[in-house]
Structure 1
Amino acid sequence: MKKIGLFFGSFNPIHIGHLILANYILENTDMDELWFVVSPQNPFKEKKSLLKDYHRLDMVQIALKNYPKMRASNVEFSLPTPAYTIDTLTYLKEKYPKNSFSLIMGEDNLKSLPKWKNFEILIKNYQILIYPRISENKTEEITWNQENIHKISAPIIELSATEIRSMIKEGKNVRPMLPPEVFDFLDGSNFYK
């Protein structure tokens, strides 16, 4: 059975923080592969600042080209929107019955977990790997006491796609923050300008 870690996000754009985290998880857990699930629309986020789904998927595919254990997934593109994590997991489990799926999320998302659709089923049936984030309100320890929730000591990377988009708009240099292929892709476009 292959163990797949699912890293959900809008990846608008994918940046080196995402890759550092994904690589850390692959090297320090028992995950065989890590899939970047490009979300068409997060139910908690507004859609207006989102680059078109396929442009974001292209950037993720370009960024992962040299990482054989990482892959881009557009599974949510064909599911009803907004895509809820539990529905995506159910679909993936049916489509790939020989794989086991784990969820990868930032500590900040753990706080909103009780608002997620069928979150009890999610916590009961799937392993959830939590990576640290610098955060104002620390998560109550009670949330960690769930059997399937595991905190990993990944490096804290405070890079934000929102900040990168705003720097691009202001004509600032974002080259060090992006995988080189993604920088070239964006540099030759009008995206985020």
Structure 2
Amino acid sequence: MKIGLFFGSFNPIHVGHLIIANTMATSTDLEQVWFVVSPQNPFKKNKGLLHEFDRYDMVDKAIADNPKLKVSDVEFLMPKPSYTIDTLTKLQEKYPQHTFKLIIGEDNLAQFKNWKNYEAILEYYGLYVYPRPNVPPHEFGNHPAVRFFSAPLLDISATFIRESIKNRRSIRYMVADVVEEMIQRKKFYI
């Protein structure tokens, strides 16, 4: 099976994530998309990050009705911070019957050369890239391992959602109803 891996902190998962994942799962040759919940992104600070189990649960609830979308906790027992190449290698060892592709936003291409072993990611896995607004120039436009796909241009920010919650503003339509209910019930981000 050809599986797209969509990495992120998902703090919280929002409709932008869901639309991109569903678009990749239904408009490309990918058979499934797995959300890989990252305990800690090596390029981001840990401030305001919910526990990974809570973020995993929100993703799981948000995608429960879509058989083409799955959630993975593979990075939870890996050394932190997690590096994409190490996670890809671990998943390929655990699931040798699958082919994995890395899904990233086009905005990540400008800094992709800073990723650990980015050459190996390109050689063994390849990138499935979705569009992002205001993308800086990059050198990967014609790389044979980089494929570009159409998807809605969404600029929904988890930071904006967390700030809205903190300031008691509505997050309706920005997250799935089950995610909003879980955030309210557990008083996340207050």
Decide: shared fold, TM above 0.5: yes
Residue 49 of structure 2 corresponds to residue 35 of structure 1: no
Aligned-partner Cα distance in 2 for 1:90–1:132: 26
Partner of 1:50: 49
Contact conserved, 1:132 with 1:154, CA < 8 A, in 2? yes
Would you say 1:85 and 2:89 are equivalent positions? no
**Backbone CA RMSD of aligned residues:** 0.9
Equivalent-residue separation in structure 1 for 2:47 and 2:115 (angstroms): 22
Of 136, 152, 162, the residue aligned with 1:138 is: 136
Task: Write out aligned runs for 1:178-193 (5 A).
Answer: 178-193=175-190
The normalised TM-score by structure 1 is 0.96
Matched-pair contact (CA < 8 Å) for 1:7–1:105: yes
After superposition, residues 1-193 of structure 1 pair within 5 angstroms as: 2-135=1-134, 137-140=135-138, 142-193=139-190
Secondary structure, in 3 states, of the residue corresponding to 1:90?
helix
Give, in whole Å, the separation in 1 of the partners of 2:26 and 2:71. Answer: 18
> How far apart in 2 are the matches of 1:75 and 1:42?
14
Deviations 1:109-152 (A, max 9, x none): 111110010111111111201111112x5223x31121110111
TM-score normalized with structure 2 length: 0.97
- The one-letter code matched in structure 1 to 2:58 is M
- How many residues matched? 190
Deviation at 1:188, TM superposition (A): 1.1
Q: Aligned to 1:102, what secondary structure does the other structure show? A: strand
Aligned-residue identity in percent: 48
Q: Per the alignment, in what secondary structure is the counterpart of residue 44 of structure 1?
A: coil
Q: Assess if the C-alpha contact under 8 Å between 1:15 and 1:178 holds in 2.
A: yes
Secondary structure, counterpart of 2:71 in structure 1: strand
Aligned residues of 1:62 and 1:181 also touching (Cα < 8 A) = yes
**Superposed displacement of residue 84, structure 1:** 0.3
**What is the CA–CA distance in structure 1 between the aligned matches of 2:165 and 2:104, rounded to whole Å?**
26
Amino acid at match of 1:100: T
Rounded to whole Å, the distance in 2 between the matches of 1:39 and 1:143 is: 25
Large movers: runs of 4+ above 2 Å? 137-140
- For the residues of structure 2 that align with 1:120 and 1:34, how far apart are their CA atoms? 23
1:101, CA displacement in angstroms? 0.1
